[in-house]
Amino acid sequence: MERADELALLMTLEMGKPVAESRAEIVYGAEFLRWFSEEAVRIDGRYTVAPSGKGRLLVMRQPVGPCLLITPWNFPMAMGTRKIGPAVAAGCTMVLKPAQLTPLSSLALASILTEAGLPPGVLNVVTSSKAGPTIGPIIADPRTRKLSFTGSTEVGKQLAAQASDKLLRVSMELGGNAPFIVFDDADLDAAVEGAVIAKMRNTGEACTAANRFHVQESVAEEFAARMADRLGAMKIGRGTDPGVEIGPLISRSQRDQVSELVDDAVGRGANVMVGGHSDREAAGYFYPPTVLTGVPQEARVLREEIFGPVAPIVPFGSDDEAIAAANDTEYGLVAYLFTTNLGRAFRVSEALETGMVGLNQGLVSNPAAPFGGVKQSGYGREGGREGISEYLNVKYLAMNVGG
């Protein structure tokens, strides 16, 4: 555990999240290695008789080949192991390009894997402050067979276009705009608890972060008041200080972007229940946890990925209205849904246009689950049984058995 603590501290110093969250990420990241080490021995195939009865069909799965893995800064350890784990288990070699803001976490991870016995050359980390010119030649190299990217939708689209020239196998884990729906029959304590987790993990800098809260009219006021109490009481500060729950945002531009989204909403008539202002000249890129009500539909904060600790709350009337509002986005990574009505839980879950749904829980990340999105949140899945298939090709052997 000492080693995990060192790594957690390194991650906090590098990108700012509270040490407790860094520790949780080390465990989450390590779980991908465990899960995929167990999956490595379950790469199976099949043997069948051809319909004519004359031949035999043997189906095997083989490593896709050298992979290019590109990761973001917000979960530098887990986004790495979520790709490295299945790639190694499938038998692939790889080049990992971490975000320029968090190369140290990835280099530390690589050195641990080397220490653990990963053969030389299997994992190659390339750091760079010029992503485009560094990545271009690797995508164009005829040895590269697969691109797995986690990051923004904008960059993902550019890379998918580049990769199409070589028809690479591609996985894209992109941005989100997660709706968090609370029905009037929900357990409100659980909904607030789930909302705090879904919104505040990593100071809101997560693709899975609840971006907008759709709450049924009769409970909207109470939900907003409870959220304001909870978020307003959170301790903000340096990630290494004891008891800190909310660290700084990753950069000045990120903080300014969050400020602009809040200012835009307020300019259009939204009310600030808590937070809502940061001193742009102050040291550190802190932004206070913020709850907004009366947010008009056209406000940017409802349409864009916030990547900060801001919770806009919007009331709805019927189930159909909730579903329509939740799906009114080009993104489709995850949605959260709180209800105690079983039929409603299934109906709404099925109608949501997302790759994942958190039902009465504010966290969906799990190494055993297929993580990924639809629409402009990308394609491909990481984790679970599906995760290893992304690194395997299917080969079929047609056998003439005579007779």
| Contact residues: ligand NAP, CB under 6 A | 70-75, 79, 97-101, 131-132, 135, 150-152, 155, 158-159, 173-176, 207, 305, 333, 373
Q: Rounded to an integer, what distance in angstroms lies between the CA atom of residue 109 and that of residue 115?
A: 10
Q: How far is CA 158 from CA 3, 94, 132, 172, 380, in A?
A: 38, 21, 10, 11, 17
**Closest separation in Å from C-beta 24 to ligand NAP:** 15
Nearest C-alpha neighbor of 210 from the set 336, 108, 120: 336
Q: 316 - beta bridge partners?
A: 216
Give yes or no for a contact between 355 and 333, defined as CB atoms under 8 angstroms apart.
Answer: yes
Chain residue at closest Cβ approach to ligand NAP: 151
The DSSP call for residue 203 is G
**Closest separation in Å from C-beta 36 to ligand NAP:** 16
- Pairing type for strands 67-70 and 146-150 reads parallel
Of all helices (H) and strands (E), which one includes residue 79?
Answer: helix 78-90
Nearest C-alpha neighbor of 148 from the set 381, 400, 310: 381
In this structure, what are the phi and psi dihedrals at residue 284, rounded to the nearest 5 degrees?
80, 150
Buried b (16+ CB within 10 A) or exposed e, 10-38: bbbebbbbbbebbbbbbebbbbbbebbee
Does residue 173 have an active-site annotation? yes
Which of 25, 173, 205, 382 does the annotation list as catalytic? Answer: 173
Structure tokens, 81: 């192991």
**Closest separation in Å from C-beta 130 to ligand NAP:** 7
Q: How far is CA 252 from CA 222, 285, 317, 395, in A?
A: 34, 6, 38, 50
Three-state secondary-structure class, residue 361: coil
Q: Which is nearer to ligand NAP, 12 or 339 (CB)?
A: 12
**Closest separation in Å from C-beta 35 to ligand NAP:** 16
**Closest separation in Å from C-beta 373 to ligand NAP:** 6
Q: Rounded to an integer, what distance in angstroms lies between the CA atom of residue 333 and that of residue 150?
A: 12
Nearest C-alpha neighbor of 103 from the set 70, 147, 74, 73: 73
Q: Which is nearer to ligand NAP, 177 or 339 (CB)?
A: 177
Query: How many Cβ atoms from other residues are within 10 Å of residue 205's Cβ?
Result: 24
Which of 207, 305, 382, 390 does the annotation list as catalytic? Answer: 207
Supply the residues annotated as catalytic: 173, 207
